[in-house]
Each structure stands twice: as structure tokens, then as C-alpha cells.
A = this chain, B = another copy of it.
């Protein structure tokens, strides 16, 4: 298991390879990406910022919980910070597990907990030039 907050583009393929194991019957990848439209407004990009030390610890806690709860060591998560263009990946979650149901359950647990707990914020850039913090 591994988790990190990084400031460079994410590589889903590398994370999928990192969790690969011949003990696993299923691997899953979740990739969060910057959407063109959010709540009816045209988005042109997003700044992600983090309280880095706490975000890294909280993310590591979540991965540790998923490892314990779903029974696989093969979970890797990276979250990106900085300015992201449309379509770029903000988070990649890779899981592999002997059993497919647990691989999918672990994937969902991690993304839902990340959304709730990890101190990361995003400021959307809109086509009209405005920039606003999301969830405020």
C-alpha cells in the first residue's frame, strides 16, 4: 500500500502496474478528472491545494483502513495538487484483490472517504474569468 500527494501529472497505468499481483483476480482503477461543466457553469481548469502534511496523513489513514477492512495490501492512491486542465486526473486509486467484489468495495471506500476527510480544496476557473472555491 502507498499513498501520496503529488504536484505532477498522474500516471494511472503506472499505478495499475504497481498493484498487479498473481494473487489477484481483479484490479480496479478509479480516475477523477476535471469536468468541462460543473453545476451549469463552463469550467476551464481547477487549482487544487492541500494542507499537505495533514492530507498525506489522512490519505494514508484511509488506505490503511481499506487494507484492513477489505483484506488486500494492494492499494495505491495518488492525489495531485496544482493547476489542472480539462480532462486531467486529480486522483488515481488502484486496487487489486483476489476477489472482484472486495476490489470494487475498497475502491469505493477510498474515494468516498477522500471526498469527506482529506484537506484538499479546489478553485474552479470559469469561462467568464471568475474563480471560485468549490464546496463553499
How close is A115's CB to chain B, nearest CB, in angstroms? 8
**A36, CB-defined interface residue at 8 Å:** yes
**A1, CB-defined interface residue at 8 Å:** no
Q: How many copies of this chain does one complex carry?
A: 2
Q: Which residues of B contact A71 (CB under 8 A)?
A: none
- Chain A, interface SS category: mixed
A37 to B21, CA, bound (A): 12
Chain A residues bordering chain B, tally (CB within 8 A): 31
Q: Which residues of B contact A104 (CB under 8 A)?
A: 30, 104, 107-108
**A29, CB-defined interface residue at 8 Å:** yes
Given the known A-B contacts A13-B12, A107-B104, are A33 and B28 also in contact in the complex, defined by CB atoms under 8 Å?
Answer: no
A30 to B16, CA, bound (A): 10
**A53, CB-defined interface residue at 8 Å:** no
**A34, CB-defined interface residue at 8 Å:** yes
**A55, CB-defined interface residue at 8 Å:** no
Given the known A-B contacts A13-B12, A104-B104, A104-B107, are A98 and B35 also in contact in the complex, defined by CB atoms under 8 Å?
Answer: yes
Q: Which residues of B contact A36 (CB under 8 A)?
A: 22-23
How close is A94's CB to chain B, nearest CB, in angstroms? 9
Contact status B27-A33, CB under 8 Å: yes
| A-to-B contact residues, CB < 8 Å | 12-13, 16, 20-37, 86-87, 96, 98, 100, 103-104, 107-108, 111
